Structure 1
Amino acid sequence: MVVQIIFVLLVVAGTALFAFNARKVIRNIKLGKAANRSDKPQERLMTMLKVAFGQTKMAVRPVPFLLHLVVYLGFVIINLEVLEIVIDGIFGTHRVFAGLGGLYNFLIGSFELLAAGVWLACAIFLIRRNVVKLKRFSGVEMKSWPKSDANYILITEILLMSAFLLMNAADAKLQALGVAHYQQAGAFPVSTWLLGLLPNNINTLIFIERFCWWFHIVGIFGFLNYLPYSKHFHIMLAFPNTYFSNLNPKGEFTNMDSVTNEVKAMLDPSFVPAETAPGKFGAKDIQDLTWVNLLNAYTCTECGRCTSVCPANMTGKLLSPRKIMMDTRDRMEEVGKNIDKHGADHQDGKSLLDDYISREEIWACTSCNACTEACPVNIDPLGIIVELRRYAVMEESVAPASINAMLGNVENNGAPWKYSPADRFNWAEGD
């Protein structure tokens, strides 16, 4: 009974702590401005099923796609066993679903094969990151914590799968020895190979089985509460992020109501714009971005696919789309901590633009949308870059000389070039 009480307290504490941290993340996302993403529900649902569940955008790189698919399926399916572990932990039973007979044997056998696949895939991912050192896993933003984060998760997955298989191996041996409480149940195609490593002493086997059982469940709740601090929160956020992703053609910029009304009033003197609260143009800090932009930042997997296809980054420019998303998330976290410590009205004198993302970065972007096309979970770094540019140009009138020259030409000549409209066809003379 004491063990059951300890288990219940673990489940309640682990779930409550996760809910507490998840609420902070949701609060931080809500710091952004309103954005209407309730249109086209069927198309949004299909996008989520295709991109988040089907992982279709990852298939561009077949090897990591297959490895990630194994880890993804393993994470989802193996954790179905958590239901049995929770019931056993609360009521003091052992393999409570054993009554399913052949179906139970099939499930446990399938879980073992998946666990072996997850173990192997995580080991390969570790080698790719730390031995092969693929270029897209490096960069100025991939230092210290971001670099260690992925390794921590991969090592944790390997340990959890090892504990699961070792638990089953000890269980199988205790079943073979006819120990009470360990009824004949389950099929063990993988853990059978571990039987030779285990002792024949019953007490030692029970200790190994119980230790691995506790390690597995404690590890799962530990992993759950690690997610809000990790890039691996995309395990949960990828689904709402793809559902609320931008369905408009890539490269189609959003119009600002204040500017649109200004133009309409110039063209039609009778036009009376609706009353709107005054606001700033573009974004200087996270509160000026939309909640969709902020959800994007929390969903970033830091995989580097966006940066690896960025033409500006390829040519040595300072821009890294991955860093844009990571900086936005870091700024959100900082603002959230300030709210917790000092209240909602606290101003720390910092902003996303300049303190986190430099002017050089935002003006290096070519607006080609290669990053948004490459992202496996439909994140849109360009959306943030454009808003930061808008602030610089429309609020501060600060832009690179080449941009100012182009804007001046548009204003004076009706085109980006320095030639007047009357001279546009001079190139054709003499033909």
Structure 2
Amino acid sequence: MSVDQQPPRAYVDVHILQTVPPANLNRDDQGNPKAAVYGGVRRSRVSSQAWKRATRMHFAEHRPAEDHGIRTRTVAADLAERLRRLPAVPDAETDAQAAERLAGALLAPLGIKAGKKEGETAYLFFYGDRQLDALAALVADHAAEFLALDDKALAAEVGTLGVPDVFGIEHPLDVALFGRMVADLAALRVDAATQVAHALSTHAVDLEFDYFTAVDDETHKRNETGAGMIGNIGFNSATLYRYATVGLHQLHRNLSAGRPADAAWPATVAGVRDFVTSFARSVPAGYKNSFAHRTLPSLVAVTVRTDQPVNLVSAFEAPVTDKTHGIAAASATRLASEHTKVCELWGDPPAFQAVVHAFDVKSVADGVADAFGPARNFGALLDGLEEHLDGAHRAVAA
């Protein structure tokens, strides 16, 4: 694939069914689990933002620290800390202001507005650890000369360094996937390669409350009774339908910036594999110590489409009520039927599809197999996806 050649338009759709026990994964402004009305009934809901963050935290646990993306208001403080480690900038406490001054000058060309608190930006800025190291490296050999300039001369010198270009290349995977929106400078924007839907329960859900008391361990020594603290926590339990899609062409475009052409495609395929892995295995951490709600999906289906992404949530517009083999099993049957129906009605079958699931009821397993193919384990699903993407790439390159 040449430097200018992009892979053909393709979308990697991820469909997940996951049953969560009593939990409060993602709370609303009242502290209760988020909800939505869909199909005329109340559903459990987990926002896309919550699961994106959970996915990013899974990245952080399984990828090298230098490949991490960082989303923060304190980019100036982070840069100043790096600058203080430069040989040309003394790291004594009295010289902290020098590093902060140089950091402020380096970030000024980005045009990011200052926040209400000193040293913070007006909004969260998303960047890569390597990108901030590259920015510090721009002045590594001349930090002392830069610091000797007055503010006007320092700004002029920094303006020649191409600071915005640093944040336009070498994007970490999470920035390439989830994008970066910067209102103040269009050149800093990165179009997201991934869309993540709000997770919805496949069935109607009621809000419940856990009334709890906390006992003061010392009260018995004083012959006292009563609780040390009383409260309640809202919770629910649900089988969730989760959906996300990755635009393969956009991810490749984002990861190509500043990388050798021959390295962009392997990074793209590895990025898709990492995303599917982390999206499937991650769970938002709300009240995790109170509910220990972490589970693995009952079903993960991956399809590669060349027409458009297709969210199959319409399978659950009528809430699932069949409990013959459990809500999750009935949901899997609904999902398989909806996928088959979409392919038949629109005549756009996926270029690739694979599924892993935990259902051993023959009628359920057969329905899923008819729709998505024979069941595999998760590693085989990922290997098959990677093999398909590489094969499609070789066909284009040829």
TM over 0.5: no
TM-score of the two chains, using structure 1 as the length reference: 0.23
Identify, as 1 or 2, the structure richer in strand. 2
Identify, as 1 or 2, the structure richer in helix. 1
TM-score of the two chains, using structure 2 as the length reference: 0.25
User: Of the two, which has the highest radius of gyration?
Assistant: 1
Could you say which structure has the greater relative contact order, defined with CA pairs below 8 angstroms and 6 or more residues apart? 2
